[in-house]
Amino acid sequence: MAARSARERAYAPFSKFKVGAAVEDDGGKIYTGCNVENATYGLTICAERVAVFKAISEGASQLVRVAVVADTPELTPPCGACRQILWEFCGDAELILANLAGASERLRMSQIFPRPFDKSFL
C-alpha cells in the first residue's frame, strides 16, 4: 500500500508518531504524503494534507479515495484540520484506515465528518 510506504519517510523526531497517507484521483493515479514535524509543532503538517497538496500541485482535480496508515493498535482517523482539507478536495470519498498489524476499516468521509463547512456556506 502506498500510504504504508509513505509512512516510512515521515519526519517525526519529536513525537515518533509516523503517519503515511495516499490519495487516488479519478484516473487511478496515487499521490502520497507523510507527516513532517517541526520543533515548534505549530508548523507541523500531517500526512493527509501533504498527499492532497501534492496531488493538487501535480494537476489532480478529482480525488476519490484516501488511505491513512499509522502504527497504532486502534486505527487512526484524520485530525480535524485534515478532515476539512479532505472534504474540500475529496468530498465524500472512500476513506481507508489501516495499521501495521494489518487491521483496516473502510468508511466514507461523511461518516467521520458529518456536518462539514464547505463552499455552500459562502
pTM: 0.94
- Residue predicted with more confidence, 92 or 1: 92
Mean pLDDT of 7-32: 97
pLDDT attached to residue 1: 83
Helix (H) / strand (E) element for 99: namely strand 94-99
CA distances from 38 to 10, 17, 45, 46 (A): 12, 13, 8, 11
Domain annotation for the chain: domains and CATH numbers: 2-121 (3.40.140.10)
Residue-wise pLDDT tens digits, 20-72? 999 999 999 999 999 999 999 999 999 999 999 999 999 998 999 999 999 99
Q: Which of 24, 37, 48, 58 is catalytic?
A: 48
Is 94 considered catalytic here?
Answer: no
Residue-wise pLDDT tens digits, 69-110? 999 999 999 999 999 999 999 999 999 999 999 999 999 999
SS3 assignment, position 62: coil
Q: Spell out the residues 6+ positions from residue 75 whose beta carbon is closer than 8 angstroms to its own.
A: 97, 98, 99, 103, 104, 105
